[in-house]
Each structure stands twice: as C-alpha cells, then as structure tokens.
Structure 1
Amino acid sequence: MNAVERSIRQRIALEGPLTVAQLMQEALAGRGGYYRDNDPLGPEGDFVTAPEVSQMFGELIGLWCVDTWQRLGAPAKFHLVEIGPGRGTLMADALRAARVAPAFLAAKQLHLVEINAALRQQQAERLVDHTPIWHETLGSVPEGPMLLIANELFDALPIHQLVMTDDGWRERVVAENSSGLAFGVTAPSSAIGLLRPAHRNAKSGAVAEVSPAAIALIDAIARRLVRDNGAALIIDYGPAESGLGDSFQALKRHKFHLPLEALGEADLTAHVDFGALTDAAAEAGAQVFGPTAQGDFLRALGIELRANMLAQKADAATGEILHRQVHRLIAPEQMGRLFKVIGLAGPQLNIERAGGLAGL
C-alpha cells in the first residue's frame, strides 16, 4: 500500500465513503498525488498527448495564438497562459512558430499554471528564453488581456458519478470492505443539481457524470475573458453533446488500469462534457466557438500542408514519420474525432472579424 492509498483509507475511516470526485482529487492532486509527483508523459510514462506526438501540433497552436491576438486588436501587453503545460513541449513549439510575429512575442508575458515541481523544472529549461511565471491556480494570474491554452486538462478534473436506481438517483462512492476499496452508492450530493434536464428521468442503471470543478474553471476563464478581453482554446476528449455513460477510467503504462488499484500511481480520467462546458461559458457571457473535432480543426489550420512542406525537405524515412504523426492527430479512428476543440472569447471580439476564431 502506497502513501496515497494509505491516506485515502485513513480519510474513509474518519469521514466515511468518498465520492468519486473526492477520490480523484486526493489521488491526483493531493499530497504525493499523481500529478504532483510524477512525470506521466511520453513513451516511458503512462500516456502521450498531442504535443508529444508531433511538434506540428504546438506550432499550429502558436500560429492560432498569433492570429487570435491580431483579431483581438493586437494588445500591446497581454498574458499568454497555459494550464497544465506538461513538459512545456506545446508552449515551446508554439512560441518557436510565433517568431513570425516579433510584436506578439514582445507583447506577451508567459504564465504557466502547474502544481508539479518536477515538471516546472522541465518547463523552465524549455522556456528559459521566455521568463515564465508559475502559478498554482488561474486566480493568481494578473488582470489584463489573456490568451489561454488548456490541452488535456479538463479530463483530469474530478467528476461525480450518479447512478439511476429503482429508488432514483444515487451517488457512486468509494468505501472500504474486507477485500479493500470498493464502489458503492449513497444518497446523492449537491452535484445532482448539475444533471442535464434531459437526463433527470433516465432509465434504471444509467450513469451520469458531472463535474463542478470543470464548470467552476470554465466559468472563471469565461468571466476573465469577458472582463479583461481575450480568448481561450480548450482541447480535450469526449462527446460534443452531453450524454449518459460511465467513462471513468485509469491509465498506467499506456494500458487501462483498475481505478481503485495503486492510487496515486495511475492517471484517473473521464470524458469531458463539452455540452456542459459550452453552456457554462455562454452563461458567463463569453462567445463560444465549437466544439469542433480535432482533426477538422488541425486541417483548417493547415497541418497537412505543413507536413507536406516538411516532408519535401526531409529524407523518405522522416517524411513517413511526419505523415504517421499527422494521421495519429487527425484520423477519425485515432485522435481526430474523439478529441474536440472549443474556443472562447470576450464580447470585445467582433464575431465577423473572428473568422470562426480561425478554424472553429
């Protein structure tokens, strides 16, 4: 039993069963948690994100940032923010591509929202020329116009799982029995208030997933954009419209893992409810673009053209690698359909000038 699981069991003994959201928070972001003390990325880690697949992903995001900054009126000073920047790969690639616009680079102040000390060190090494400023939360980023990127962040935010029974909705919880940790159900928490109206009378056995943490974060981002001007790009995986189903899962060494085993040593994740995110952002006053399938978004930004240009300057083997990378990012059976992209902007952005916010 590792320290994280021991802490969780002690908490259950003192407080009673934990909701899935409480379990995720403890296992991922608590003391010694997965995202505080691990480097989960890459072939040697537990999963690979799009920036690790190809530098073209980050480069296109960088060009999107430049284009959006210009559509926002090219503010002389603005905050470039990434939440959950991993090893700094996406941002390093984005800022390298942004060298086509020196005024953009001169205007930006780079902010990284990161809780992992080891990853902060890697980010510092990759982004040394851009003097990043680190934060534990978005709330400490100073006021002012903002461009924000969040790639594969929302899938790791805690969710509540609600289960429809013959007695109505109940909340899935984690308790301890003679065999160890196990799932059970109890009376629902206040999270039941986030159920979509269409799901409230679901059939027995249905599972609904709601995330107050995701709603709170998207609301904070949207309100910040409305107040200070700016735009945000959110990339993650899940359905375009809200639905029912159990998507809670664990990943370890690129394979599915039992969620209640080796807590703190595996990634706990769930599909993002893009319908809930876009509704919350719109209610906060932001303009919302998308969701758009990642494959369509990257095609609109010119990833295939970029790959072909690079391949023409490379040998045959490198050209084949480039095309395999593009296939993984945009093919429907790979990351192209499951992953979605949404854009948010403050009301100051003229929707006619937004041009679909460049690809969305």
Structure 2
Amino acid sequence: MSEGLPPDHERTFSPDDGGGEPAERLDRFMRRAAAAYYAGREPFGAGGDFITAPEMTQAFGEILGLWAAIAWEGMGRPGPVALVELGPGRGTLMADALRATAEMAPAFRAALRVHLVETSPRLRQAQADMLGTAVAGWHDDIATLPQGPAIILANEFIDALPIRQFVRRGGAWMERFVSAGAFEERPAQDAPPLPETAEEGAVQEVNETGRAIAAAIAARVAALGGAALFLDYGPEEGGFGDSLQAMTAQGSADPLGPAGTADITAHVDFAALADVARKAGAAVHGPVPQGVFLARLGLFSRAAILARMDPRRATAHLAAAQRLAAPEHMGRLFKAICFTHPGLPPLPGFEDP
C-alpha cells in the first residue's frame, strides 16, 4: 500500500541446504507477513510506514464519495445501496466520503449502507472509532457482503495481496520460494498459464488472489448492479519484471526480511484484472492514470477551495493535490480502473479523451 517505484534489488538464488526454516512459496510468505504486519503495527499516516492518498488530503475521499453518488444516480437511485470499501485502513477515506455526500448528495447519503471488508481486528477498531454507527457491517471477505446493488471502492488494495513469482531458467519455468530470507527456485507446479517464449531470466508475477477478487466483484456488479473502482499502482499493460518491494518508516526495506516488520507490495497487473472482469460479464473502464482521473473529478478545484478555507495549511492542501496527480509523483504510476454493470452510463473520470 505504499507509494514507490519498482525495486532494483537483485537477489542471490541458492538451493535449500536442508537447514533452517522450511522454504515457503512466496505468496504464502506474503500472506503470513501481511497478517503479522497489520496485526502489530500502525502503518498509516505521518508517524507510520507510509502515507496513502486519504491521509494526504481530505479532498481525495470527498471526490470519491461524490463519484459514488454520481454512480448511484446512473444506477437509478436504488435504495438501500451498499457502499463498500476494501481495505479501508483507519476509515479516513470513508469518513471524508460520508461527510461530502451528506452535504452535497443527501439523498445518496440516506440511501447508502456502509460495509467494510477488513480482516485485522486492530484496524476494525480504528475504523469503528473513526466512523461509529455509520458502519452497517464488517466482513472478512466479499462473499458475505449483502445481496443487492453496490458501489465498491478500493484504494491501494490489490497491491498488498500476495503474488507468485516465476523465473525462466533453461527453457522452463521455476517458482520462487522464500527460505531463510532469500529466494530459492523450484520447478513450477500447479502454475497458471505462462508464456513459453520468455527470455532466459525473465520474471513473471501472478496475483491469483487479486484476479479472483476482481472476477468475483465483476460478476457481482454485472448480476446485481453497481460499480467497483480500484486505484492502485503498476503498468497499464502487464509484462515481465520483479516489482516486489517493502517499505518502513525508514524507507525501503528487504521484502524477504522477518515477516511482519515491513509493508510488502507488488505492482498491479491491470491488464489481467481487466481481462478477468470482462470474462465475468462486467463493463471495464480504464485503466487511466490516477492524475488524469482525479483531475477530471475536480481534485485541484477542491484543493484550492480547502486552501482558501484553511489559509494556514494552504500550501499543504495544494502540495497534496500535486503529489497525488503530478506525473512525476503518483499521477502516472498509479492508475484507476472501474468495473460496472453493462447498462450503467459512463462514469466521471473515464471519459474518452
């Protein structure tokens, strides 16, 4: 969930010598590390390991809340409607979205029911402290969300899901395992389809969990109505390369270090998400650069208003907007992609140029 560029680390691959801890497939190591990390640390905000968009400026959550209100209008104003956030952190984005909709789209605010998909008990408590009785329910996964139309928001969610890594060696694919803080390569088994024309040493990352979630959400909005918006970082088209990285308050960290000591992420393959969403029956919009998407939603106008309302923090409001949208910061590497019911009109931010 951290802002960053692809890592340039190069690891030494060594066979298992039979000593130390058993080797663990990379995705299983990442899943265990993430559970330990979010159970025991406060990662968000200026005092944490990274700062996500909602923590930079209230404008981010506000404009996403109003985007959801416009989506609801396009859906025919159903009531009730689930407003869902995946991986909601401390609840900052949702708090800002609810405040904006209460002021600017009161009918939508009255119709929505907040549902949060969060597995960490510590973060659930933080969300309860932030949002109080506004939350209708928490969920361990999307399978238990209430039936009916939904608008789903996910900011820096897919990047934190576990990935598998495969390396081309001698005309065959090997899979990376983690053993004693280093990679170990083993012949790939139960692997997803992988290109047979890859060059020697090529690395292919596959986020099976992310693809499964994207497919399930796309099938849901196609069948029950609604829209799902994902904002995350990675290339527009999938490809080869090692994007595994880790962040702490001190900066970059070893992603294969002790589990739970750093935030481990990898770039999102937007092309793969779009492919599974279309196959599940949803319309796919984007990906578009986050900077373009947020500018179309009025990020800079809102930041300017906040600067006038709060002169002491005017520079901070304007700088946060630049960090989110400028190409040299988060504006190009981060992308926005949306899955919708095929009958839903085009939504703001995804207009043809």
- In percent, how many aligned pairs have the same letter? 46
The answer for the alignment partner of 1:258 in structure 2 is: 254
Is 1:71 the counterpart of 2:71? The answer is no
For 1:253 and 1:271, how far apart are their aligned partners in 2? 20
Q: Which amino acid aligns with 1:343?
A: C
Is 1:157 the counterpart of 2:161? The answer is yes
Q: Which amino acid aligns with 1:166?
A: G
> TM-score, length-normalised on structure 2?
0.90
Question: CA 1:314–1:253 in 2, change beyond 3 Å: closer, same or farther?
Answer: closer
The answer for the alignment partner of 1:125 in structure 2 is: 129
Is 1:248 the counterpart of 2:244? The answer is yes
Paired residues for 1:312-331 under 5 Å: 312-315=308-311, 317-331=312-326
Question: CA 1:143–1:15 in 2, change beyond 3 Å: closer, same or farther?
Answer: farther
Paired residues for 1:109-124 under 5 Å: 109-124=113-128
Question: CA 1:92–1:168 in 2, change beyond 3 Å: closer, same or farther?
Answer: same
Is 1:280 the counterpart of 2:276? The answer is yes
Deviation at 1:15, TM superposition (A): 9.8
Q: Which runs of 5+ in 2 are unaligned?
A: 1-17
Q: Deviations over 1:100-127 (max 9, x none)?
A: 1121111111100111112111211221
Deviates more, 1:85-94 or 1:72-81: 72-81
Question: CA 1:140–1:320 in 2, change beyond 3 Å: closer, same or farther?
Answer: same
Deviation at 1:129, TM superposition (A): 4.3
The answer for the alignment partner of 1:214 in structure 2 is: 210
Q: Which amino acid aligns with 1:123?
A: Q
Give the one of 43, 48, 53 matched to 1:45. Answer: 48
Deviation at 1:320, TM superposition (A): 1.5
The answer for the alignment partner of 1:9 in structure 2 is: none
Secondary structure of the 2:78 match is coil
Secondary structure of the 1:348 match is coil
Deviation at 1:182, TM superposition (A): 2.0
Q: Deviations over 1:6-46 (max 9, x none)?
A: xxxxxx989952211111111113xxx11233321112111
How many aligned positions are there? 332
In the alignment, is the contact (CA less than 8 A) between 2:153 and 2:228 conserved in 1?
A: yes
In the alignment, is the contact (CA less than 8 A) between 1:85 and 1:91 conserved in 2?
A: yes
The answer for the alignment partner of 1:359 in structure 2 is: 349
Secondary structure of the 2:191 match is helix
Paired residues for 1:187-226 under 5 Å: 187-193=187-193, 195=194, 199-226=195-222
Q: Which amino acid aligns with 1:24?
A: M
For 1:49 and 1:200, how far apart are their aligned partners in 2? 38
Is 1:28 the counterpart of 2:62? The answer is no
For 2:93 and 2:105, how far apart are their aligned partners in 1? 18
The answer for the alignment partner of 2:151 in structure 1 is: 147
For 1:43 and 1:291, how far apart are their aligned partners in 2? 29
Q: Which amino acid aligns with 1:241?
A: E
Q: Which amino acid aligns with 1:22?
A: R
Question: CA 1:338–1:13 in 2, change beyond 3 Å: closer, same or farther?
Answer: same
Question: CA 1:15–1:66 in 2, change beyond 3 Å: closer, same or farther?
Answer: same
Question: CA 1:108–1:174 in 2, change beyond 3 Å: closer, same or farther?
Answer: same
Q: Deviations over 1:114-170 (max 9, x none)?
A: 111121112112211413311111111111100000111100111010001114111
Q: Which amino acid aligns with 1:145?
A: P
The answer for the alignment partner of 2:23 in structure 1 is: 17
Secondary structure of the 2:192 match is helix
The answer for the alignment partner of 2:294 in structure 1 is: 298
Deviation at 1:343, TM superposition (A): 0.8
Secondary structure of the 1:245 match is coil
Deviation at 1:260, TM superposition (A): 1.9
Secondary structure of the 1:82 match is strand
The answer for the alignment partner of 2:9 in structure 1 is: none
Secondary structure of the 2:65 match is helix
For 2:255 and 2:262, how far apart are their aligned partners in 1? 8
Is 1:332 the counterpart of 2:338? The answer is no
Secondary structure of the 2:181 match is strand
The answer for the alignment partner of 1:184 in structure 2 is: 184
For 2:25 and 2:111, how far apart are their aligned partners in 1? 44
Bigger fraction of residues in helix: 1
Deviates more, 1:268-277 or 1:248-257: 248-257
Moved over 6 A (4+): 12-15
Q: Which amino acid aligns with 2:181?
A: L
Secondary structure of the 1:358 match is coil
The answer for the alignment partner of 1:5 in structure 2 is: none
In the alignment, is the contact (CA less than 8 A) between 2:176 and 2:185 conserved in 1?
A: yes
Secondary structure of the 1:297 match is helix
For 2:56 and 2:280, how far apart are their aligned partners in 1? 34
Deviates more, 1:288-297 or 1:253-262: 253-262
For 2:270 and 2:94, how far apart are their aligned partners in 1? 24
Deviation at 1:200, TM superposition (A): 3.1
Secondary structure of the 2:316 match is helix
Q: Deviations over 1:43-70 (max 9, x none)?
A: 2111110001110000010010001100
The answer for the alignment partner of 2:170 in structure 1 is: 166
> TM-score, length-normalised on structure 1?
0.89
For 2:296 and 2:250, how far apart are their aligned partners in 1? 29
